[in-house]
Amino acid sequence: MAKSGKKKILKCVQMPEQAPGARIKNFDEVTLGYSPEQAIREASRCLQCKDSPCGRGCPVEIDIPAFVKCIREGDFIGAAYKIKEKNCLPAICGRVCPQENQCERFCVLGKKGDPLNIGGLERFAADYGRAQNRLDEPSRPNLTGQAGKKVAVIGSGPAGLTVAGDLARLGYEVTIFEGLHKPGGVLVYGIPEFRLPKDIVQFEVDYVRRLGVEIRTNVLIGKLFTVDELFEQGYHAIFVGVGAGLPLFMGIPGENLNGVYSANEFLTRGNLMKSYLFPEYDTPIKRGKKVAVVGGGNVAVDAARMALRLRADEVYLVYRRSEVEMPARAEEIRHAKEEGINFKVLTLPVRLLGKDGWVCGMECVRVELGRVDESGRRRPIPIEGSEFTLDVDVVVVAIGTGANPLLPGTTPGLELDERGYIVADEETGRTSREGVFAGGDIVTGAATVISAMGAGTKAARAIDEYLKKQV
């Protein structure tokens, strides 16, 4: 008896989800969130460790035991405020952070059973605060010395929103310049609705607005204005958070056929332009019957699940390493499998076949894994004679992205690395240009929401110090 009682304590309270058969027919969120009772039960598993090892895994330094304790005691608003002290986008992070590699990796409960579902509890507190309309009015401290100092933030992804929010709280006049018509970066154009509902992103963007940040959309810096022109317009410091949105392709024959998309285009059409509601919305998308998505990261899994919801009969996820090496989150892989995505691992596309200008097949070769290569993963080696063809009418390439050269190319004196990413100090975001700071994917290459936010937090601190020294 005692034994089975112990097991119960170690097991995580499962978050309810839409059933796979139902969810592939809609774009609604898959995971449904904890009820208050479930959240209290899950929070009660926390041991309130004195040295809080979980905190070491949180890039924005949330006081995890403190907010979990609030939930355990039924003080949900207190929990939400505790999180907001360090994280201005908690409903987003609670949903998309790879917690299994961060806070939850350090949770001592994980040594003997399931770690605490820290992400699920963060999401619960943030959603509760929003539903109660209790996190609405952020206070804007009127700090001395900052009045009249203006900061331009280029890009409204998690890095830009974080730096803007933090600087507004410190009393600076902050303007975000965003190239697209909606703010949010990958959160609005990349991560699908069924994983991150857009009204949640909107709410958190509005929160940053209510802190006093002006957001100007449809302004592409490097085209409409340059960084130098922003300085001429009176900005005292500039933060560059333009992400890494330049799609990479495989470089195989047939990639220019109709029906072949980059994951960026495929997901942007789906998420930002709502092409699944065409013709109600203007942007069309080809709804393939047999779709192959190439890649093994979150982006590939998102694109595959999107294709399924666009009513494909068969969706292949074609990945050149094994499932163990897949960079996608474990939860996304589980969801994709439950939904019926056909995993073709250890498979390398070599040629796309076309008919009348449209893609109609993908020639592949099976591979085996050899020695570890420069990426730290085992190199795929083609197996002779193992070629085969998949019949497909849409192909989505999701093998990664690079730095868009537009902004760096129009900013003289900005040091770049050999791949075109901006060189910036890890602790401060300082670049080689006086008064220009940078962070997020445009510095690190494609990474995570929370790492972009962490860079935003550090850069805001550094910009504050920099501006305090300016007369």
Q: Compute the least distance from the CB of residue 314 to ligand FAD, in Å.
A: 21
From the list 12-20, 214-222, 272-280, 306-314, the region that binds ligand FAD by CB under 6 A is: 214-222
Q: Which of 89, 107, 300, 452 binds ligand SF4 (CB under 6 A)?
A: 107
Q: For residues 267 and 292, which CB has a smaller minimum distance to ligand FAD in the complex?
A: 267
Tell me the torsion sign for CA atoms 222, 441, 264, 124.
Answer: negative
- CA 167, chain centre distance (Å): 22
Binding to ligand SF4 in span 283-322, by CB under 6 A: none
- Contact flag: residue 155 with ligand FAD (CB under 6 A): yes
Q: Which two tokens stand for residue 184?
A: 């949010």
Residue 161's CB: how many other CB atoms inside 10 A? 32
- Angle, CA 443 vertex, CA 439 and CA 449 arms, to 5°: 60
- Contact flag: residue 448 with ligand FAD (CB under 6 A): yes
**Which of ligand SF4, ligand FAD, none does residue 54 bind to, with CB < 5 to 8 Å depending on kind?**
ligand SF4
- Contact flag: residue 299 with ligand FAD (CB under 6 A): yes
Q: Which of 40, 43, 70, 96 binds ligand FAD (CB under 6 A)?
A: 96
Q: For residues 106 and 319, which CB has a smaller minimum distance to ligand SF4 in the complex?
A: 106
- Contact flag: residue 90 with ligand FAD (CB under 6 A): no
Q: How many CA atoms lie within 13 A of 464 on its CB side?
A: 18
- Contact flag: residue 242 with ligand FAD (CB under 6 A): yes
The phi and psi torsions of 383 (rounded to 5 degrees) equal -95, 120
Q: Compute the least distance from the CB of residue 410 to ligand FAD, in Å.
A: 9
User: Which residues, in sequence order, are CB contacts of 305 under 8 Å at separation 6+?
Assistant: 192, 194, 315, 332, 335, 336, 339, 341
Buried b (16+ CB within 10 A) or exposed e, 367-385: bebeeeeeeeebebeeeee
- Contact flag: residue 454 with ligand FAD (CB under 6 A): no
From the list 5-13, 14-22, 92-100, 333-341, the region that binds ligand FAD by CB under 6 A is: 92-100
Per rule CB under 6 A, count of chain residues that contact ligand SF4: 15
**What DSSP string runs through 51-98?**
T-GGGGG-TT---HHHHHHHHHTT-HHHHHHHHHTT-S-HHHHHHHS-
Q: Compute the least distance from the CB of residue 12 to ligand SF4, in Å.
A: 11
Measured CA to CA in angstroms, residue 22 lies from 18, 32, 34, 40, 193 at distances of 7, 13, 20, 28, 15
Q: Compute the least distance from the CB of residue 138 to ligand FAD, in Å.
A: 20
Binding to ligand SF4 in span 115-134, by CB under 6 A: 116, 118
Using an 8 Å Cβ cutoff, are 162 and 452 in contact? yes
Q: Compute the least distance from the CB of residue 402 to ligand FAD, in Å.
A: 12
Q: Which of 221, 365, 367, 395 binds ligand FAD (CB under 6 A)?
A: 221
As a whole number of angstroms, the longest Cα–Cα distance in the chain is 74
Binding to ligand SF4 in span 9-68, by CB under 6 A: 46-49, 52-54, 64-65, 68
**What DSSP string runs through 386-431?**
--EEEE-SEEEE-S-EE--SHHHHTSTT--B-TTSPBP--TTT-B-
From the list 155-163, 275-283, 285-293, 373-381, the region that binds ligand FAD by CB under 6 A is: 155-163
**Which of ligand SF4, ligand FAD, none does residue 49 bind to, with CB < 5 to 8 Å depending on kind?**
ligand SF4
- Contact flag: residue 158 with ligand FAD (CB under 6 A): yes
The phi and psi torsions of 26 (rounded to 5 degrees) equal -145, 175
- Contact flag: residue 312 with ligand FAD (CB under 6 A): no
- Contact flag: residue 267 with ligand FAD (CB under 6 A): yes
Helix (H, G, I), strand (E, B) or coil at 184: coil
Q: In this structure, are strands 347-355 and 358-372 parallel, antiparallel, or unpaired?
A: antiparallel
Angle between the 118-131 and 64-72 helix axes, to the nearest 10 degrees?
Answer: 60
Q: Which of 441, 457, 463, 467 binds ligand FAD (CB under 6 A)?
A: 441
From the list 53-61, 134-142, 144-152, 177-185, the region that binds ligand FAD by CB under 6 A is: 177-185
**Which of ligand FAD, ligand SF4, none does residue 341 bind to, with CB < 5 to 8 Å depending on kind?**
none
Q: Which of 156, 262, 268, 275 binds ligand FAD (CB under 6 A)?
A: 156
Q: 217, 118, 115: which is closest to 160 by C-alpha?
A: 217
Alpha helices in 136-194 (DSSP H): 158-169, 186-189
Q: For residues 55 and 420, which CB has a smaller minimum distance to ligand SF4 in the complex?
A: 55
Q: For residues 29 and 146, which CB has a smaller minimum distance to ligand FAD in the complex?
A: 29
Q: Which of 191, 208, 307, 422 binds ligand FAD (CB under 6 A)?
A: 191
Task: Give dist(CA 38, CA 15) in Å, integer.
Answer: 8
- Contact footprint for ligand SF4 (CB under 6 A): 46-49, 52-54, 64-65, 68, 107-109, 116, 118
- Contact footprint for ligand FAD (CB under 6 A): 96-98, 154-160, 177-180, 185-186, 190-191, 220-222, 241-243, 245, 267, 298-299, 302, 329, 404, 406-407, 440-441, 446-450, 452
